[in-house]
């Protein structure tokens, strides 16, 4: 295995997370009193029973907040502690501080919340129908859809549902805060966004940001769940520390984390797709009802990414797509790997699958006919550049021997009555940059110590995605220092200020570039010192080149002169520079150039570049049981020039498998009262190692990306989208059992839905396949889905 500081230390158990920090002697533990229902109005908090049982416990409510009781970012609709109406089950009503974690929880459980119950809405379509929108609808358009539909040879319409998804980061939400001087605090938080925690805590405490320091060493996974939603927990710890002048820790157990925190947004959508006789798509229309949950959180930005990715990797000249932020009384749904794009892409892929049924043209032919190519324009007005979709699709079809595969599947399906196979292809085009322009900025602070060791501070948070490893490599390359001399510091608001979350797959793009710029400053100074040194040794040997005339380079820990080793080593050069009173530290700032967007007209260039690729997935379904296996996945992916190949392969595998969880396995359901049904990991099923198919990953060769650091490309989220082909592979296997039946578009493709699809066929076709009669009764498929209560 290659040297990788964090992964080696992780394996040795030597990395430290929030719960590994030695607990100070005077530590208090915090727990929240959650709202007891999905929608209500707070009448009174009754703590007498809790106080009697736990006399030392401290109870804090909204009235105890010294600053502003508001932590919402996009929309100020998120009080830290409920001050009137609550909008979801598990919303924090009060905070309890006690001497132990268990005491805090037990005391919280004894607090009585007297409430006026209000009506609960869990279905986004119902919320939209009642005008319960968090912000007005948003529409992107190009061309003229009305005119285009009139000219289409085929028009298909339909409905698509996709379920939410729980992040299941290994480290649950948590933070510790220590009281500081002058009303300040120091917070260690498991967050993707330390500056966000800092800002919110400063507001809640009513102190300037320079009184709040937030540090994140690394986090045990985030997947978007700690972009905004680590903030309340950091603020609770800070509030407790400020009011008691003792350190305070809050750390959720899994059940609490599952019950109280946001997840991927469920969506329910309608589409209309029009094609000409040859199968070219002329027009696409869609309405996306996003179940946003009880408050805005990141929902507007997530919806924006859905609209930007509505056409995925296809070119369509006439488009109208509208998104609705539907306020449902469920946990506030939030960022999750893909950030709204998977939900949008599933809709257009479903539309194409339906068009394949209507036209008799195979889906893969429709897909290939309509791929984006160089010179096209996205519906939001950005030109398509360095397009590598067609190349990826051609390669993946060749790699899996698509035609041969189809024949093998047909022959398998011909011989087998109880098992059927299916395959599906999906192209990829994913935009890189935060869709909110302002967020595309960060800084770096690099110190070279006088022994030659290097420390890098940036806004990047390591969450297992390898951003630290990549920045270490970038730093080593930029300085010419050996990579094992570089250490990545924990992320701290006091070393690099005013950053945004490590998210949008842009952690390395932004922070790596800032580190590179800081290193360039130090390197320039070191090169001057090196030239001086070399000119002095020239003088000793009476060859006499002036320092200014010497061209040198530093590479792999040694100074080179005209490309040849000089014997002057990195450590000695740094020591010399220090002796000569040269500044060995530098700060740099990076903001992505060239981004602009006109919100009024919904046109612009919101992304620095796009990531392309394609995948083929195969599956086998058990026709009697509705169970299936995902067998193989072929991925051809545009990773630019990877900074660390192993990290990028890991991200591709991990993203794909996590996507499979969303597309076919993880069943996030709420009942009519807005209560999460599978609220432990014994009932909420995520992919395990046995579920993972054989994966064949190929990165495109010769694919430099001049728009990002060292010609690399962002990798964190895009491969997740390949998993959508897993849904269609299973659907195609099921349809092989009854080719004349229409498919359904309701993810995840659980065995229950598969079996319902098959048993409905049984009812319609008695005697098929073995005369078994349909047993499922009520249709699980019809009764499940987005935010809808299931029977
Ligand atoms: N990989 C691991 N191991 N753990 C994570 O939490 N988060 C994903 C992705 N890969 C994540 C991960 C998400 S949602 C994003 S946006 C990116 O990593 C963020 O990191 P990057 O910008 O450095 O790629
Ligand atoms: N991606 C991820 N996180 C974000 C984004 C985005 O585009 N915008 C705001 N937060
Ligand atoms: Mo990732 S959803 O942008 O944290």
What tens digit of pLDDT does each residue of 138-163 get?
999 999 999 999 999 999 999 999 99
Least confident segment among 284-298, 534-548, 740-754: 534-548
Is 784's pLDDT higher than 70? no
* Alpha-carbon gap, residue 316 to 274, rounded angstroms: 10
Distance between CA 84 and CA 42 in Å, rounded? 5
pTM: 0.95
Distance, first Cα to last Cα, the chain: 50
Check residue 771 and give its pLDDT: 42
Is 385 annotated in the active site? no
- Residue 543: the pLDDT is 72
**Pocket, ligand 3, Cβ cutoff 6 A:** 192, 222, 224, 227, 335-337, 339, 503-504
Please provide the DSSP assignment of 705-769 as one string: -TTSGGGB---SSGGGGGGHHHHHHHHHHHHHH-TTS----EES--HHHHHHHHHHHHHHSTT-S
315: part of which helix (H) or strand (E)?
A: none
Summarize pLDDT for 699-727 with one digit per residue, the tens.
999 999 999 999 999 999 999 999 999 99
Ligand index nearest the alpha carbon of residue 505: 1
Q: What is residue 427's predicted lDDT score, i.e. its pLDDT? A: 99
Percent of the chain with pLDDT over 70: 95
User: Average pLDDT for residues 459-476, to the nearest whole number?
Assistant: 97
Looking at residue 90, the DSSP 8-state letter turns out to be: T
Confidence check: pLDDT of 767 > 70: no
Question: Token pair for residue 716?
Answer: 């964190």
From 592, 698, 696, 711, select the one nearest 642 (Cα to Cα): 711
| pLDDT at position 643 over 90 | yes
Ligand 1 within 6 A of 468 CB? no
User: How far, in Å, from the CA of 346 to the mean position of ligand 3?
Assistant: 18
Largest CA distance in the chain: 101
pLDDT value, residue 738: 84
Q: Please say if the pLDDT value at position 118 is more than 50.
A: yes
Predicted local distance difference test score (pLDDT) of residue 541 = 77
Confidence band of 120 (pLDDT split at 50, 70, 90): very high
Q: Of all protein residues, whose CA lies closest to atom 7 belonging to ligand 2?
A: 434
Ligand found nearest the CA of 717: 1
Alpha-carbon distance 141 to 356, whole Å?
25
Ligand 2 shell residues, CB under 6 Å: 227, 298, 301, 305, 335, 339, 434-436, 439, 503-504
766-780 mean pLDDT: 42
Query: Which comes out higher in pLDDT, residue 774 or 641?
Result: 641
Sign of the CA dihedral with 361 first, then 364, 366, and 369 last: negative
Token representation of residue 747: 């993810």
User: What is the rounded average pLDDT for all residues in the chain?
Assistant: 95
Task: Give pLDDT, residue 537.
Answer: 86
Residue 189: pLDDT over 70? yes
pLDDT one-digit tens code per residue, 237-292: 999 999 999 999 999 999 999 999 999 999 999 999 999 999 999 999 999 999 99
User: What share of the chain has pLDDT > 90, as a percent?
Assistant: 92
**What does the pLDDT look like over 31-83, one tens digit per residue?**
999 999 999 999 999 999 999 999 999 999 999 999 999 999 999 999 999 99
Q: Look up residue 124 and give its DSSP letter.
A: H
Of the candidates 104, 101, 103, 120, the one whose C-alpha atom is nearest the C-alpha of residue 36 is 120
Q: Is the pLDDT of residue 510 over 60?
A: yes
Measured CA to CA, the distance from residue 761 to residue 72 in angstroms comes to: 49
* 778 has pLDDT over 70: no
Q: What is the pLDDT confidence band of residue 466, given thresholds at 50, 70 and 90?
A: very high
What's the mean pLDDT in 99-118? Answer: 98
Alpha-helical (H) ranges within 190-310 are 194-205, 231-244, 254-260, 299-308
pLDDT at 3 over 80: no
Arithmetic mean of pLDDT, 548-571? 95
* Residue 124 binned pLDDT confidence (cut-offs 50, 70, 90): very high
Report the 3 state secondary structure along 518-535. HHHHHHHHHHHHHHHHHH
Please say if the pLDDT value at position 336 is more than 90.
yes
Confidence class for position 789, pLDDT limits 50, 70, 90: very low
Report pLDDT digits (tens) over 592-621.
Answer: 999 999 999 999 999 999 999 999 999 999
pLDDT for residue 768: 53
The catalytically annotated residue of 181, 717, 742, 760 is: 717
Which residue's alpha carbon is at the smallest distance from atom 2 of ligand 2? 504
Measure 471 CA to ligand 1 centroid, in angstroms.
Answer: 14
SS (H, E, C) 644-665: CHHHHHHHHHHHHHHHHHHHHH
Cα distances from 590 to residues 432, 510, 511, 714, 754, in angstroms, run: 16, 7, 8, 16, 49
How far apart CA 626 and CA 620 sit, in angstroms, is 10
- pLDDT value of residue 544: 72
Q: What was the pLDDT predicted at 539?
A: 81
- pLDDT at residue 538, rounded to an integer: 82
């Amino acid at each position: 295995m290659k040297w990788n500081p964090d992964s080696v230390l992780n394996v040795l158990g030597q990395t430290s997370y929030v719960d590994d920090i030695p607990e100070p002697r005077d530590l208090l533990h915090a727990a929240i009193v959650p709202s007891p229902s999905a929608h209500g109005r707070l009448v009174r908090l009754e703590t007498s029973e809790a106080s009697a049982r736990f006399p030392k416990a401290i109870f804090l409510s909204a009235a105890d907040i010294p600053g502003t009781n508001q932590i919402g970012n996009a929309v100020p609709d998120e009080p830290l502690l409920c001050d009137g109406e609550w909008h979801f089950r598990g919303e924090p009503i009060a905070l309890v501080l006690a001497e132990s974690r268990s005491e805090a929880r037990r005391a919280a459980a004894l607090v009585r919340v007297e409430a006026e119950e209000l009506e609960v809405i869990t279905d986004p379509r119902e919320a939209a129908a009642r005008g319960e929108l968090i912000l007005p609808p948003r529409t992107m358009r190009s061309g003229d859809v009305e005119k285009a539909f009139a000219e289409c040879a085929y028009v298909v319409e339909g409905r698509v549902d996709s379920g939410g998804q729980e992040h299941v980061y290994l480290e649950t939400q948590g933070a510790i805060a220590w009281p500081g001087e002058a009303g300040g605090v120091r917070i260690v938080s498991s967050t993707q966004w330390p500056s966000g925690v800092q800002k919110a805590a400063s507001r809640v405490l009513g102190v300037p940001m320079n009184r709040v320091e937030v540090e994140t060493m690394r986090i045990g996974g985030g997947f978007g769940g700690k972009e905004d939603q680590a903030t309340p927990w950091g603020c609770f710890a800070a509030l407790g520390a400020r009011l008691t002048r003792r350190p305070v820790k809050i750390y959720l157990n899994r059940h609490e984390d599952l019950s109280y925190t946001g997840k991927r947004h469920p969506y329910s959508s309608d589409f209309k797709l029009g094609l000409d006789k040859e199968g070219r798509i002329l027009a696409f229309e869609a309405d996306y009802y996003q179940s946003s949950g009880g408050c805005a959180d990141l929902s507007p930005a997530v919806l924006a990414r859905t609209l930007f990715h509505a056409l995925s990797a296809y070119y369509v000249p006439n488009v109208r797509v509208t998104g609705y932020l539907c306020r449902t009384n469920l946990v506030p749904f939030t960022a999750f790997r893909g950030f709204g794009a998977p939900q949008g892409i599933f809709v257009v892929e479903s539309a194409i699958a339906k068009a394949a049924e209507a036209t008799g043209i195979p889906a893969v032919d429709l897909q290939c006919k309509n791929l984006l190519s160089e010179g096209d324009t996205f519906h939001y007005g950005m030109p398509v550049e360095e397009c590598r979709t067609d190349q990826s699709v051609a390669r993946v079809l060749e790699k899996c021997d698509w035609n041969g595969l189809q024949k093998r599947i047909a022959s398998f399906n011909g011989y087998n009555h109880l098992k059927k196979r299916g395959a599906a292809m999906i192209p990829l085009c994913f935009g890189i940059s935060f869709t909110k322009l302002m967020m595309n900025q960060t800084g770096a602070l690099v110190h070279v110590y006088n022994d030659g060791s290097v420390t890098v501070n940036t806004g990047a948070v390591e969450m297992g995605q390898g951003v630290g490893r990549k920045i270490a490599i970038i730093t080593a390359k930029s300085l010419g220092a050996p990579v094992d001399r570089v250490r990545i510091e924990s992320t701290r608001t006091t070393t690099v200020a005013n950053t945004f979350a490590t998210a949008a797959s842009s952690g390395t793009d932004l922070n790596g570039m800032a580190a590179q710029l800081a290193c360039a400053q130090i390197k320039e100074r070191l090169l001057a010192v090196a030239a001086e040194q070399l000119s002095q040794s020239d003088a000793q040997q009476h060859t006499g080149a002036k320092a200014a005339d010497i061209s040198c380079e530093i590479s792999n820990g040694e100074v080179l002169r005209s490309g040849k080793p000089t014997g002057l080593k990195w450590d000695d050069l740094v020591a010399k520079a220090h002796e000569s009173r040269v500044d060995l530290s530098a700060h740099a700032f990076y903001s992505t150039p060239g981004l602009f967007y006109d919100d009024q007209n919904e046109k612009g260039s919101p992304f620095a570049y796009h990531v392309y690729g394609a995948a083929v997935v195969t599956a086998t379904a058990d026709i009697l049981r509705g169970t299936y296996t995902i067998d193989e996945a072929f991925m051809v992916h545009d990773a630019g020039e990877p900074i660390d190949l192993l990290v990028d392969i890991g991200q591709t595998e991990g993203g794909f498998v996590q996507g499979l969880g969303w597309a076919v396995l993880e069943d996030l359901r709420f009942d009519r009262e807005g209560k999460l049904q599978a609220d432990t990991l014994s009932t909420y099923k995520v992919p395990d190692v046995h579920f993972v198919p054989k994966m064949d990953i190929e990165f495109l060769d010769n694919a430099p990306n001049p728009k990002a650091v060292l010609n690399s490309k962002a990798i964190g989220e895009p491969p997740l989208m390949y998993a959508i082909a897993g849904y269609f592979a299973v659907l195609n296997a099921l349809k092989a059992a009854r080719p004349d039946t229409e498919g359904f578009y309701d993810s995840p493709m659980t065995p229950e839905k598969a079996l319902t699809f098959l048993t409905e066929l049984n009812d319609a076709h008695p005697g098929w396949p073995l005369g078994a009669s349909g047993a499922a009764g009520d249709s699980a498929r019809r009764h499940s889905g987005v935010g809808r209560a299931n029977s």
